[in-house]
Amino acid sequence: MKEQEINRYWKRIINTMNDGLTLIGPNGTILMVNHAFEQMTGYIADEVLGLPCTMLHCDACESTLKEDSDVWCTLFEQGRDDMKRCHCHIMKKDGGYIPVLKNASVLKDDQGMQIGAVETFTDISEISRLDQEVNKLARQLDADGDFQGMIGKSDAMHKVFDVIRKAALSEASVIIYGESGSGKELVALALHRLGRRKEGPFVQLNCAALNEALLESELFGHVKGAFTGAYRHRPGRFAAAHGGDFFLDEIGDMPLSIQVKLLRVLETGQFEHVGDHRPVSADVRIIAATNRNLEELIARKQFREDFFFRINVIPIRLPPLRQRTEDIPLLVDTFIRHLQTRTGKAITGLTRTAMERFMTYHWPGNIRELKSALEYAFVIAEKGLIGCEQLPPRLADRSSKPKVPSYIISDAGGSLSRPCRVDSDEKEALIKALGQTNGNQSQAARLLGVCRVTVWNRMRKYGINLKKGLASENAS
């Protein structure tokens, strides 16, 4: 093809480029743009021709613009023949910024006179997004542990991690079994982050924290005027979780009437706001969790069997800490590093005796109790190694032999052992903890290694009334 023909078709040629292109005059005005530039920025050619190229607000140009010079940009300084390449951001017509790889070079005529510059822009939005995601995951691994914030190298935990990876790719309901403090919420978060709905919302609700009426309103929402105090429309948690995952914690404490309504949602994909009869669609994957033996609750008529079969599609069983003691040193080291950063204290670890106490203790509160014990020690200790005398009384006392909670314990084969004296053990431990703390529920929760909501729920379950005192409960 002759040079004259090339000149004739050069505009068509540059419009086939995927990269945006601008031709800039020596005074910094835009002389020409191609179609890719228009698609990338949202501007059409007529809107930018004759305007200064600074209209793009390129953040890399701040170092090249010259105020006290004969030339407006260092690109046009005499003797400069090099090409400038950089990562930068340019502003689109809608005011948003787009990350690009920019190449800029001076154009010269046959006599070596500068006649302008050409710049190309490669859209790297997707690359930038992936880089941010990789950095986010790297920070998460550095900060939180080995697998999605869960710390453990034992065979038992590796089996759990493997099940999580597989379950995350399914749309079926998942239920997480585990004692209080064993990390059920972290499992739910991992299922969401690794699943197909990771771009959607992750909504959670503790089923034991609310009474029946409030729980129904939280789940399904209500319309204005549905009941006294309903001053405005509330969409509810199911609507908020549309397109994502809904984590229902302590589902074993859900009232039977709510189980019926939730079963209908799982079967039809629709629900109704309280006070309304119009169906609302909900595309939600349910992730449930419990520290109770649901099969035992079914036998007692406290949990619906049909609802159980609907949510028990993919069971994940978290081992208690006493069944994976090889992970304790790793957990201790991780939490101590976090506490060092948070408190600034020069505490380097545990004495040999203190570590032996950690390894032989039953940990009824599991990881939550272990973390609380180290936080207590960081308050008492000043520097160096933490000794037994700086541990909470339950760990410091050699004669202390806390009972192992018998509810929802997973044996080596993965099946559920039947509860043994569940109610009496649980109630006795609760009354003792409340007595030691003079009825302070938060302190009792720390002693038991559970959350405050669990203490409140168990008080309601066993009819413990602090106003009447604990003496009568102890007498019973």
Residue 246 has pLDDT above 90, yes or no: yes
Average pLDDT over residues 98-120: 85
Written as one letter, the residue type at 408 is: I
Q: CA torsion, points 461, 463, 467, 468, in degrees to nearest 10?
A: -160
Distance of CA 203 to the CA centre of its chain: 10
198-213: b or e for each residue (b if 16 or more CB lie within 10 Å)? eebebbbbbbbbbeee
Lowest-pLDDT range of 59-68, 103-112, 304-313, 328-337: 59-68
% residues pLDDT > 70 (the chain): 78
Distance of CA 186 to the CA centre of its chain: 8
Average pLDDT over residues 341-370: 91
397-429: b or e for each residue (b if 16 or more CB lie within 10 Å)? eeeeebeebbbbbbeeeeebeebeebeebbbeb
60/66 Cα distance (integer angstroms): 13
Element (H, E) at 125: helix 125-144
pLDDT of residue 474: 47
470/476 Cα distance (integer angstroms): 10
142/319 Cα distance (integer angstroms): 24
The answer to whether the beta carbons of residues 220 and 272 sit under 8 Å apart is yes
Tell the residue number behind the tokens 């207590």, with chain if given: 376
pLDDT bracket for residue 35 (50, 70, 90): very high
Average pLDDT over residues 305-321: 95
% residues pLDDT > 90 (the chain): 41
Tell the residue number behind the tokens 């690109």, with chain if given: 75
Per-residue DSSP letter, 69: S
Which has more pLDDT, 447 or 401? 447
pLDDT of residue 222: 65
* Highest mean pLDDT pick, 115-119, 174-178, 270-274, 404-408: 174-178
The answer to whether the beta carbons of residues 221 and 183 sit under 8 Å apart is no
The answer to whether the beta carbons of residues 403 and 367 sit under 8 Å apart is no
Q: Which of 286, 291, 292, 293 is nearest to 310 (CA)?
A: 286
Q: Which of 276, 300, 250 is nearest to 456 (CA)?
A: 250
36 backbone dihedrals φ, ψ, rounded to 5° = -60, -35
Lowest-pLDDT range of 47-51, 129-133, 367-371: 129-133
Lowest-pLDDT range of 59-63, 301-305, 328-332: 59-63
Neighbouring C-beta atoms of residue 323, cutoff 10 Å: 15
Lowest-pLDDT range of 19-23, 281-285, 289-293: 281-285
pLDDT of residue 137: 58
pLDDT bracket for residue 420 (50, 70, 90): very low
Lowest-pLDDT range of 33-37, 262-266, 344-348, 449-453: 449-453
Dump the DSSP string for 418-455. Answer: PPSSHHHHHHHHHHHHHHHTTT-HHHHHHHHTS-HHHH
Helix (H, G, I), strand (E, B) or coil at 385: strand
Lowest-pLDDT range of 53-67, 80-94, 152-166, 374-388: 53-67
pLDDT bracket for residue 286 (50, 70, 90): very high
Written as one letter, the residue type at 38 is: E
pLDDT tens-digit map of 178-219: 999 999 999 999 999 999 999 999 999 998 888 888 888 888
Average pLDDT over residues 126-136: 70
Tell the residue number behind the tokens 């914030």, with chain if given: 149
Residue 408 has pLDDT above 50, yes or no: no
pLDDT of residue 232: 63
Residue 289 has pLDDT above 60, yes or no: yes
pLDDT of residue 76: 61
pLDDT bracket for residue 235 (50, 70, 90): confident
Helix (H, G, I), strand (E, B) or coil at 404: coil
Average pLDDT over residues 347-373: 92
Instruction: Give whole-number Cα distances, 310 to 173, 174, 266, 429, in Å.
Output: 7, 10, 8, 33
Q: Which of 433, 171, 152 is nearest to 320 (CA)?
A: 152
Lowest-pLDDT range of 71-80, 272-281, 350-359, 401-410: 401-410
Q: With 0.75 as the threshold, say if the pTM is over it.
A: no
Residue 314 has pLDDT above 50, yes or no: yes
Residue-range domains of the chain with CATH: 3-123 (3.30.450.20), 154-317 (3.40.50.300), 323-403 (1.10.8.60), 421-476 (1.10.10.60)
Instruction: Give whole-number Cα distances, 312 to 13, 263, 288, in Å.
Output: 61, 12, 9
Average pLDDT over residues 145-152: 80
The answer to whether the beta carbons of residues 276 and 223 sit under 8 Å apart is yes
Instruction: Give whole-number Cα distances, 250 to 17, 184, 226, 457, in Å.
Output: 57, 10, 27, 10
pLDDT of residue 44: 92
Average pLDDT over residues 338-359: 90
456/444 Cα distance (integer angstroms): 10
pLDDT bracket for residue 4 (50, 70, 90): low
Residue 434 has pLDDT above 60, yes or no: yes
